Amino acid sequence: MKAFILAAGNGTRLRPLTDNVPKCLLPIQGAPLLEIWLNNCKTAGITDVLVNAHAHSNFVKEFAAAQKSGVSVRVAEEPELLGSAGTLAASWDFVAGEEAFFILYGDVLTNIDLRRMLEFHNNRRLSATICVYQVPDPTRCGIVSVDENMVIQSFVEKPVQPASNWAFAGIMIATDEILGLLPDHRPADIGFDLLPKLIRRMAAYESSAYILDIGTLENYQSAQKSWPGLDGCQPNR
């Protein structure tokens, strides 16, 4: 199985930490975030990963060449940012012919059990599945509402009046059915430009695992104390 790890952001909210280091290589309790992702992928049976890179891409390439997770890593350098959905379109050849694949946000720190999420997705047989978790401020996230079968009925990025506090966690399983929905413009964003088109065609996988966007200095510093590690990856809620 394959996965995208989206890691090309500039990490401006993490400066000065990201002045000389890409966000995906910032250490969490001594381990680079990308290393944590690759180890989780290995446990889930993911064999091949594509990491997109922009800021300090040379360091990402060096890490990919030296890492020993057992996962094959391909780095797609983006001289100009394509956006999360733009990366999928530009590197679609990477997942051509795959029945399903993961899309993982590289600045998310989590110990979610990706295998259980895949089982859930396979049972639903929809175009996509996104992991959702409860957040204290839904106006800052992509928020979903679901029906009794966990099929998503609405998705709004950063809503003024949120329909719930269940937010997209930056963890997604997709099929080739999303290809025709990817926008032509660049940059293009998954939350704004893709997920709203998948209403009633994607499922919500509710999770109570450790999930933290480390994109701010506050969250990054919090992760150093709160991160429980990958041991005992957490099941669905």
Is 167 a member of any domain? yes
Domain hosting 113: range is 2-226
The CATH number linked to 106 is 3.90.550.10
pLDDT at residue 233, as a whole number: 52
Between the alpha carbon of residue 128 and those of residues 36, 89, 137, 152, the distances in Å are 24, 16, 25, 10
Instruction: Reply yes or no on whether the pLDDT at 235 is more than 50.
Output: no
Is 178 a member of any domain? yes
Instruction: Say how far apart CA 202 and CA 234 lie, in whole Å.
Output: 22
Is 209 a member of any domain? yes
Query: Average pLDDT, stretch 227-231?
Result: 91
pLDDT at residue 150, as a whole number: 96
Is 180 a member of any domain? yes
pLDDT at residue 11, as a whole number: 76
Tens of pLDDT, residues 163-183: 899 999 999 999 999 999 999
The more confident residue out of 230 and 232 is 230
Tens of pLDDT, residues 113-126: 999 999 999 999 99
pLDDT at residue 13, as a whole number: 87
Instruction: Give the count of domains, the chain.
Output: 1
Contact residues for 237 (Cβ-Cβ < 8 A; gap 6+): 206, 207, 208
Q: What are phi and psi of 79, to 5 degrees?
A: -60, -35
Instruction: Reply yes or no on whether the pLDDT at 156 is more than 90.
Output: yes
Lowest mean pLDDT among 11-20, 45-54, 166-175, 195-204: 11-20
Is 236 a member of any domain? no
DSSP 178-206: GGGGS-SSSS--IIIIIGGGGTTSEEEEE
Query: Average pLDDT, stretch 105-115?
Result: 97
Average pLDDT in the chain: 94
pLDDT at residue 237, as a whole number: 44
Tens of pLDDT, residues 28-79: 999 999 999 999 999 999 999 999 999 899 999 999 999 999 999 999 999 9
CB atoms within 10 A of CB 161: 8
Is 29 a member of any domain? yes
223: confidence class by pLDDT, cuts 50, 70, 90? very high
Is 234 a member of any domain? no
Instruction: Say how far apart CA 52 and CA 60 lie, in whole Å.
Output: 9
The more confident residue out of 111 and 17 is 111
Instruction: Reply yes or no on whether the pLDDT at 84 is more than 60.
Output: yes
Is 231 a member of any domain? no
pTM confidence score: 0.94
